[in-house]
Amino acid sequence: MIKKGFGIKNIAEMLGTSVSTVSRALRDAHDINPDTKDRILALAKELNFKPNKNAAALASGSTKNIGVIIPFITNYYFGTVISGIQEEAYQLGYNIILFVTNDEVEREIDLIHNLNLASLDGLLISISSNTTATDHFNELIRKELPVVFFDRAPSDINASKVMQNDFEGAFLATKHLINKGYQKIAHLAGPESLDFSKERLRGYLSAMKKAQLPVNPEHILHSGFTQQHGYMDTQKLLELQDVPDAIFAINDGKAIGAIQALKKAGKLVGKEIGVMGFTNDPISTIIEPNLTTVEEPAFEIGKQSCQLLIRHIKNREFEARSVVIPCKLIDRDSA
């Protein structure tokens, strides 16, 4: 049993090496002889020695903590992203601390202003849907805290970003509907201020233009991301004189709301009016008919966001970069 007060100094004496060498080995540094590192780690394991993390953090200037700011925690997509972040952080020896904004820009600003930056090595951020001003993010960057945005990212900030290819995914979705024979396709879009909403709208419009199909401006509705938003938007579409024959929703929640509204109106989903989503939420296989959708690479976005942030943490001169991950079409019965 290790005596009270036993520390890295004792291990250094037992192996005839320096305290700094033992410290570097225990925090898995690369600037150390591999044989020496193996001997130190083997002895530490044999003695069941666990270093004082607080002391190590003070010595190295690193807390091994990563903050993650997200709009929702109960949302399937963000839950999967968090799993990807946590998996990568664990492998690289970091802890994650979650901060939830409830998709409210005021809470997002207050949260960032009140962060204890000394307790974090860096931040992963997905912005709120109503975020337009970016002063609070620029403040973090001015303070030289490593920051990486994922999924929802501001366009006017020079920082690293990891996102799915929203344009390509929306183009694939709309093209799939066109290939199935639908011609009057509506788009249930997200908030106009968000870049990924703009990209998915742009993908939809591009596919319609390429197929030489007209776009009715009344068929494009901007609102929030919930099932209720999709339900109410679809009711508006059904009240139009020119009712669409298909609906492409910005996410699965809105698409499922659309299916419910269509079924209530007595429409045969997939036959009279097709519905396409975007996420591949597990509920898309439970709703009847099963939802045709575009799968977002949420887990991979989480992993690559975390990898990129840790590169910034370890190398403060590492330049900002954007990573775009492709989406995948999932063909089911609603279209």
Tokens of 266: 């007595």
Residues comprising the chain, all counted: 335
pLDDT one-digit tens code per residue, 14-64: 888 887 788 778 877 666 888 888 898 888 888 887 766 544 554 455 789
Confidence (pLDDT) at 3: 55
Tell me which long-range contacts 28-31 makes (C-beta under 8 A, separation of at least 24).
28/93
Average pLDDT, rounded, for the chain? 91
| Residue 212 CA from chain centroid, whole number | 34
| Residue 55 CA from chain centroid, whole number | 32
Q: Could you tell me the pTM of the whole model?
A: 0.75
The mean pLDDT of 141-164, rounded to a whole number, is: 92
Q: Smallest Cα–Cα separation from 231: which of 287, 181, 192?
A: 287
Task: Answer for the pair 99, 131: CB distance below 8 angstroms, yes or no.
Answer: no
> What residues contact 170, with CB distance under 8 A and at least 6 apart?
199, 200, 201, 202, 203, 204, 207, 248, 278, 294
Tokens of 299: 């887990």
Secondary structure of residue 189 in the 3-state scheme: strand
Peptide linkage before 244 cis (omega within 30 of 0)? no
Confidence (pLDDT) at 275: 98
pLDDT of residue 307 exceeding 60, the answer is yes
DSSP-derived letter for residue 283 is G
Q: Smallest Cα–Cα separation from 251: which of 212, 280, 273?
A: 280
Tokens of 91: 């492998």
Spatial distance between the Cα atoms of 335 and 325, rounded to a whole number of angstroms: 25
Confidence (pLDDT) at 129: 85
pLDDT of residue 135 exceeding 50, the answer is yes
Tell me which long-range contacts 74-79 makes (C-beta under 8 A, separation of at least 24).
76/279, 76/281, 76/282, 76/283, 77/151, 77/251, 77/279, 77/281, 77/296, 77/298, 78/126, 78/151, 78/298
User: Hey, what domains does the chain have and what are their CATH numbers?
Assistant: 8-60 (1.10.260.40), 65-164+298-324 (3.40.50.2300), 166-295 (3.40.50.2300)
The mean pLDDT of 73-88, rounded to a whole number, is: 94
Confidence (pLDDT) at 61: 58
Inter-helix orientation angle 135-142/105-113, to 10°: 20
pLDDT one-digit tens code per residue, 202-259: 999 999 999 999 999 999 999 999 999 999 999 999 999 999 999 999 999 999 999 9
Confidence (pLDDT) at 7: 77
Confidence (pLDDT) at 58: 44
pLDDT one-digit tens code per residue, 169-212: 999 999 999 999 999 999 999 999 888 999 999 999 999 999 99
With cut-offs at 50, 70 and 90, classify the pLDDT of residue 262: very high
Confidence (pLDDT) at 325: 95
The mean pLDDT of 309-326, rounded to a whole number, is: 93
HSE-up of residue 264 (Cα within 13 Å, Cβ side)? 11
pLDDT of residue 5 exceeding 70, the answer is no
The pLDDT > 90 percentage for the chain reads: 70
